[in-house]
Amino acid sequence: MKYPAPDIIANKQGINLAIECKSTKENNQYLEKREVKELVEYARRAGARPLIAVRFNSMHWRFVNPEDLNDTGNNYAINREHAELKGLLFEELIKG
């Protein structure tokens, strides 16, 4: 039996994060709905904040809330511009 688990689990000073990481050279990053659902469920059970870490070519990692993803019907997606608008840089994320 496979148990859902994010790519990164981070805990420090009462801040708990469950992070799924994706990287692409394209302008859009797609995620399976199952993958996002499992991340959110894991985070709920663990008392963590679920985040999608996405990196587009020549761009810093951005940390996006799952609700900021676009529902394409079969998948979830985020494009570079939306990630820059909605996502946090690592430095912003660790400030709390």
Q: What is the pLDDT of residues 22-43, one digit of tens each?
A: 999 999 999 999 999 999 999 9
CATH of region 8-94: 3.40.1350.10
How confident is the model at residue 80, as a pLDDT? 96
Sheet holding 70-71, edge to edge: 28-32, 75-79, 70-71
How confident is the model at residue 58, as a pLDDT? 86
| Two tokens, residue 87 | 């996502």
Q: What is the pLDDT of residues 66-85, one digit of tens each?
A: 999 999 999 999 999 999 99
Domain ranges in the chain are: 8-94
Percent of the chain past pLDDT 90, that is, above it, reads 85
CA dist., res. 39 & res. 89, Å (int): 20
